[in-house]
Amino acid sequence: MASGDPPASSAKVLLLLVRRTDASFRAALRRRFDAVLDFYASGEPLPAFLAAAASAPRPPRAAVVVGAGPARVDAAFLDAVPSLRCLVSLAAGVDFIDLDECARRGVAVANSGRVFSPDVADHAVAMLIDVLRRVSAAQRFVRSGLWPVHGDYPLGSKLGGRRVGIIGLGNIGSLIAKRLEALGCVVYYNSRTPKDSVSYRYFPSVRDLAAASNVLVVACSLNKATRHIVSKDVLEALGKDGIIINISRGANVDEAELAGALRERRIAGAGLDVFENEPGVPAELLSMDNVVMTPHVAVFTSESMSDLRDHTIANLEAFFSGKPLLTPVHPETV
Amino acid sequence: MASGDPPASSAKVLLLLVRRTDASFRAALRRRFDAVLDFYASGEPLPAFLAAAASAPRPPRAAVVVGAGPARVDAAFLDAVPSLRCLVSLAAGVDFIDLDECARRGVAVANSGRVFSPDVADHAVAMLIDVLRRVSAAQRFVRSGLWPVHGDYPLGSKLGGRRVGIIGLGNIGSLIAKRLEALGCVVYYNSRTPKDSVSYRYFPSVRDLAAASNVLVVACSLNKATRHIVSKDVLEALGKDGIIINISRGANVDEAELAGALRERRIAGAGLDVFENEPGVPAELLSMDNVVMTPHVAVFTSESMSDLRDHTIANLEAFFSGKPLLTPVHPETV
């Protein structure tokens, strides 16, 4: 577009605070934007890196950030680089960004939109069937050579006919619902408000949803209202044949209560892709046969990473051209 | 119904050669039939048990059998109990029964029909997503405490958009197709003849099906024509990004060739519920990270066991009343 250095106010300078991206993503960003200040390539501590970015002749107006990255994006972060006017998250969940603080300062925020939603939904379905049909547990039995010794493995439970209560019927929750409906499950849901577009039964209370369901799938975003939304009470309402699937954020579930309920068989099993203190997992879960655990990988496939690259660049190009973001996030809609 | 001992020719006497049934199944059979000669309860060796049954005053006319049980039902077996006129299999697959020999002798055969089909289909779907998304492998990473040490786990691959070739579009194959279509896959298939009822693309050759597909799901019955239908050639046509899912019978796949192809990364992964020499599993598979293995449990859930009990009794009642079997199996249709 422009030749030579554009004026500081319009320069497309990016602050890159991401960890999990491939080399081609970085190369694509470098091709599109005037300068890319790359935290991981810098090798500097975060405060020094941010201070250097802020005092550069052309300070960055946009940043690419990811939840599993180095920093919460809060008032202190925004103070450190006051030139920022746009944050693009590589994740759908933006619980690591202080949205109210961003709104106050006029910093626009975009997330990954629906890029990952089908992958997350597939992963949730696989974990649910795995817990019900004991796929992982039966596999450990085979791998440890016990099949010829002990003979038949205990029966699992059927997927069809299960009543599955989904907490949060956004992009991801809706795709999970669609898949489970096709697999013969009955779908119920809870969300802030009932959705006119679906015929699933709505429960205004998560406790009532749990009481009516065999399975609870946690698919809501994490915010003050949803933290520990799966509480001791909810687990009790779900009951001893109940199963929890969590592909949202670890802190949506009271993990200590969940571990206790699993230990004492007050619920039947769990499929967990997320945890309260990642990469930490409560030690006692590691040896439980009725828990399927993955390391926060539900969102990621190599195919969706390339979609994410295109989507992120499109959001940034929109910002730098003064157009609306493709997938803006507002405090009141999270 | 009748009081007192019915005449030998009409007595509802059952030969029970099953291993994997719950106590309530045995109790239900005892309530419905005049006598149940139970191999496992007898504690006798099979030849002695069969000889005793054959020489009883009321020899059994029907037998309940299961593939994972003690005996192949062949000419020698039928010679040992010549009174048998009906065999009811607890499995859908009857590769352990010599159907030609049964037909020659006028012995009717029934199988489990569609009782297990949804369970098998669910299990196949779970294994496919597991292989693609590395659920089991990622779980071993978490359980062994490596997450905090190594950080991010490598990306898996997306389910949506996969071209899945199904070998055998019977009850089970059709339900797998329906599920995978709902999950965004493109379904192809091979069977003896094209089915008018479906719009999936038909391949008369399994090799061509493999060449066109990312995933091959083996869902055909085992017979002379299908033994090792997944051969070295077919694996080569599937190629290095290809995945094999087998929920039918182990011998439909050339297991030594499969192990070699996995070892040398000539295919990408496999989900196997069945093996050529169960409960034996090739030792080298046990340590492979790109293989998901379960101990022939795809067919079983506690819910379907109770459906199976009802279905088996209904087939037996039909036989003893001189009515057509509900789910007859004929040599030419397997």
pLDDT of B75 above 60: yes
Q: Which pLDDT does position A69 carry in this prediction?
A: 63
Which listed residue (B123, B296, B309, B311) is catalytic? Answer: B296
Mean of the pLDDT values across residues B84-102? 93
Parts of chain A with a pLDDT under 70: 1-9, 20-21, 68-70, 332-334
Tokens found for residue B51 = 């000889």
Q: Give CA–CA dist B84/B107, Å, rounded.
A: 7
Q: Which pLDDT does position A263 carry in this prediction?
A: 97
Q: Which pLDDT does position B93 carry in this prediction?
A: 85
Using the beta-carbon criterion (under 8 Å), do A297 and B134 form an inter-chain contact? yes
Q: Which pLDDT does position A1 carry in this prediction?
A: 41
- Catalytic residue list contains B249: yes
Interface test with B, best of A22, A40, A130, A290 (most B CBs within 10 A): A130
State percent of chain B over pLDDT 90. 81
- Catalytic residue list contains B296: yes
**CB atoms closer than 10 angstroms to residue B180:** 24
Interface test with A, best of B131, B132, B159 (most A CBs within 10 A): B159
Q: Give CA–CA dist A91/A69, Å, rounded.
A: 11
Q: Give CA–CA dist A315/A19, Å, rounded.
A: 19
A304: distance to nearest CA of chain B, Å? Answer: 7
Q: Which pLDDT does position A2 carry in this prediction?
A: 44
Output the average pLDDT for chain B.
92
Q: Which pLDDT does position B2 carry in this prediction?
A: 43
**CB atoms closer than 10 angstroms to residue A177:** 22
- Is CATH 3.30.70.1140 the classification given to domain B13-113+302-333? no
Q: Which pLDDT does position A82 carry in this prediction?
A: 96
Specify the CATH number of the domain B117-293: 3.40.50.720
Interface test with B, best of A176, A284, A301, A308 (most B CBs within 10 A): A301
Using the beta-carbon criterion (under 8 Å), do B152 and A20 form an inter-chain contact? yes
Lowest mean pLDDT of A13-22, A102-111, B149-158, B161-170, name the range: A13-22
pLDDT of B3 above 60: no
pLDDT digit string (tens) for B281-330?
999 999 999 999 999 999 879 898 889 999 999 999 999 999 999 999 98
A58: distance to nearest CA of chain B, Å? Answer: 33
Mean of the pLDDT values across residues B262-266? 97
Q: Which pLDDT does position A225 carry in this prediction?
A: 94
Nearest CA in chain B to A22: B155
Q: Which pLDDT does position A66 carry in this prediction?
A: 84
- Intrachain domains A13-115+302-333 and A117-293 with the same fold: yes
Phi and psi torsions of A15, nearest 5°: -100, 125
**CB atoms closer than 10 angstroms to residue B62:** 23
Question: Taking CB atoms and an 8 Å cutoff, what residues of chain A touch B160?
Answer: 118, 122
Q: Please, are residues B275 and B252 in contact by the beta-carbon 8 Å criterion?
A: no
Q: Which pLDDT does position B9 carry in this prediction?
A: 63
Banded model confidence at residue B259, pLDDT cuts 50, 70, 90: very high
Phi and psi torsions of A77, nearest 5°: -65, -45
Boundaries of every domain in chain B: 13-113+302-333, 117-293
Looking at domain A13-115+302-333, its CATH class is: alpha beta
A157: distance to nearest CA of chain B, Å? Answer: 5
pLDDT of B20 above 70: no
Q: Which pLDDT does position A70 carry in this prediction?
A: 64
Using the beta-carbon criterion (under 8 Å), do B158 and A119 form an inter-chain contact? yes
Using the beta-carbon criterion (under 8 Å), do B126 and A129 form an inter-chain contact? yes
